[in-house]
Structures are given as structure tokens and as C-alpha cells.
Amino acid sequence: MNDTPQHLAGNYAPVTEELTAYDLPVTGTLPPELSGWYLRNGPNPADVASGHWFFGDGMIHGVRLEGGRAVSYRNRWVRTTKFTDGAQMTDDKGNRDLTAGNANTHVVRHAGRTLALVETALPYELTCDLDTKGPYDFGGRLNTAMTAHPKTCPVTGELHFFGHAIRGRTLLTYHRADANGELVISRPIEVPGPTMMHDFALTAEHVVFMDLPVVFDLQAAKMGTMPYTWSDDYGARFGVLRRNDPHGEVRWFDIDPCYIFHTLNAYDAPDGTIVLHAMRYPELWRKPADDKPSADTSAVLWKWTIDPRTGTVREEQVDDRSGEFPRTDDRLLGLNSTYGHMTSGNALVRYDLTTGASSAHDFGSGRTPGEAAFVAADDKAGGLGWLATYVYDAGTDRSDLVLLDSDNLGAAPVATIHLPSRVPFGFHGNWLADSGA
């Protein structure tokens, strides 16, 4: 009998080597105008006794594209103090070490800095070659953890994010950094308890927080598993803050109980409502989370329309296909992006969010894609581009980086870059163009 936990088996299992490989073989044709890195973060535990998929040490997998060539691949652990020194998040006196996270969830760039993120700790800054520079606290101004899902406003260049805590007087803090990377706003927001707030939404005029009924569970934490469980008593609501009044009132709007890991996008509609698309779980972790990488129930795409004038929210299911990792063209984040996509089993699904129409690319049996990032083909937001994702092939136990035409998702891949190793299932990443800030 195989007693290996599911989160340490198959393509969830960690890779043990840091590799660098050059001149990767390509099937198809890489767009010659692409110059930059595709980076993706995910858990890759150096200690195989890791108790849950979410707990593994962060590892960045990167492919360099330039001049129509796949120049190189490299994978590197993020060398946090937890990874290098075994530092613990909390000492015996309850003091919190914000450098002792695992930096395993996302990798983003803002104001010229590349940051590896996890929601329980400070970011870690990386070099362009994926070496770890160290924890980053915005020049000493950031004194909370940082969400793994910050939002860069495409109009102002500001970085919006939050930090949440499991104890103390301030459980939620909203932060904003200007386009130069200077932290200029930090304000506490009162919430009734230590919820697992993983993501939020941004529009041109508003910030939308999600206060949902998955809350910190001390007994689950003592079991060494995911320390959050579902609460029938907590309730569910969205909190709306005006961006032009960041220290003003947060208005709360009750919704049906659910959980949301990831938003697709949100925008301000002409009629004054706020429209939000996200992947909705009807519930999550009613029992303490075990070692299963997936959730207890599946998420599907939903739409919420928040009406600040009436204080109501209209909730609508968009599709019945289960999936996760919703994304859009980040140059339209906070605006009406029209299109968005998500990962569903062996396929990527692209939605027209206005009409509800969809298209899909099925990679075939045994080939599993991860999150897909939008790679722009030109300077026109919402214009042409590609979807880039790592795809694991169970038949070969290897992985590829695949580029699909975003406007013709059902077509054969534009290019498939064959990697020297497999990329374990992981979380989030981005295309970082050389011209980006």
C-alpha cells in the first residue's frame, strides 16, 4: 500500500534539483517579438514531511524567450529564512517573524522589483536570474503580511494589496504603493474574525474586500494541516472602499455563503454598479483540510453585481464547468475586460464575459495545464495575444511551456517549448516583458 500523501505524489511531488538549461527545443514557431521571462511560483518542499500542499517551500520556474528562441529554463527555490535557517513564523512567546514564510504562491513585478509572494509573510525580492535578494518591506514601511494577489492599476501604476492576520487588534490592513514603489497608504479595516482572505478585487474607483466564512481554526493548526475551516455562523460579505477616499467608510454587502480563492476581474459599470467575476466554491473545508491538493467542492465561474445605491448584490452563475486560476489581460485589470479565462481539468476555457460565450483548448488525456497568463502581442490593452501555461504530460513525466492564440483557443498551439524536467503543479505566475516596469 502506498502511504505517500497525495500532495507529495505524482506531479505534486517536489523536484529535487535546481537546473539551468539553454536553447530549449520548440515545436511550432515562437513569436519573434517576445522578449522576457515567463515565471511561475509553486510549493516545492525541501522537507518531504511537509504536512499540506500549501506549506511547501516556494520554487520559481522560469523560461526566457528572446528573438524567436527559447533561450533558457531555470528553476530556483526562494531562499527565505524558513528555507535557509528553519525559521518559524511564530516563536514560543507568540511573536511573529514576517520573514519566515515560504514565498510559494505568486511572482509579480512592480516598480522594477520582482517579488515572490505568500499571504502569510513579507514578499521576497528576486534578481532577474531568480536568485533571492531577501525579504522586502517597502523600506521598513510594511509591518504586516502581504497578500499573494496584489493588483497593479493599469492607469495609475499603483499597487494595491492587503495584509491579514490571525490574532491581534488589527486583522486586516489595506495598503497602497505608488507607481514608484513607495508605500503611501496603510489603513486598518475592522472585520469580526480571522478569515482566510486570499484575494480581493480592484476597479477604477473601488477596492472590494471579501470577508468569507473560512476562518482560522486553532485545533486544525495543532494538527499540522491547513489551519482554516468552514464556519456556518460567520456569514459572507463584500466590503467596498472608494479609492479616492482610502481612509473612508468600508460599506459591507451581504452575499450567500461561499468561498472565493480567486477573482477574475471587476469593473465599474455605467449604471453605478460594481461587477465582479470570480470562481465560487459553495463551501470549503467543512472538516479540517487534509493533504488533498484540491478543495472539498469544485469552483465554477459566478458574477456578482453590487449596487451601492440600493445596498444589494445580484448573484448569477455564469457556467457549470468546474475550474480555477481565472485570469484576464492585466492591462485591463479593474476595467471591463470583456474576456477572461480559467483552467478546467485538461483544458483552458476562455469566456466572453459580455455574451457568456466560451471556447476551449483541450490538451488531451494525460496533459494537464496550470494557470495561464496573458502575453500581449501589442500595446493595445485587450488586443491580440497569447495564453502561456506550463503543461504536465503524465506519459513522459515531463512538462512543456505552451503558447496558445488567445483569439483562436481551439487551434493547435502556436509554440510548445519542451523543458528538461517536469514542473510540479503549482499556483500563479506572470509574463514579465523586458519593456515592463
Residue 369 lies in a domain: no
The tally of domains found in the chain comes to: 1
Instruction: Dump pLDDT digits (tens) for 395-431.
Output: 999 999 999 999 999 999 999 999 999 999 999 999 9
Residue of higher predicted confidence among 222 and 147 = 147
Contact yes or no for 342/359 (Cβ under 8 A): no
Bridge-based pairing of strands 415-418 and 26-28 is: antiparallel
Residue 128 lies in a domain: no
DSSP notation for 81-101: HHHHH---SB-TT--B-TT-S
Contact yes or no for 182/219 (Cβ under 8 A): no
Residue 411 lies in a domain: no
Enter the pTM of the model: 0.95
What per-residue confidence (pLDDT) applies to 288? Answer: 65
3-class DSSP state of 215: strand
Residue 318 lies in a domain: yes
Q: Please give the Cα distance from 212 to 196 (Å, whole number).
A: 8
Instruction: Dump pLDDT digits (tens) for 78-95.
Output: 999 998 988 787 766 667
Residue 38 lies in a domain: no
Residue 257 lies in a domain: yes
Number of alpha carbons in the 13 Å side-chain half-sphere of residue 297: 16
Domain that holds residue 211: 137-322
Residue 108 lies in a domain: no
Contact yes or no for 100/80 (Cβ under 8 A): yes
139 vs 182, 186, 214, CA distance in Å? 8, 14, 33
- State the DSSP H helix or E strand holding residue 360, giving kind and residue range, or none if neither: strand 358-362
Residue 428 lies in a domain: no
Q: Please give the Cα distance from 184 to 176 (Å, whole number).
A: 6
Residue of higher predicted confidence among 225 and 30 = 30
Instruction: Dump pLDDT digits (tens) for 37-79.
Output: 999 999 999 976 677 788 889 999 999 999 999 999 999 999 9
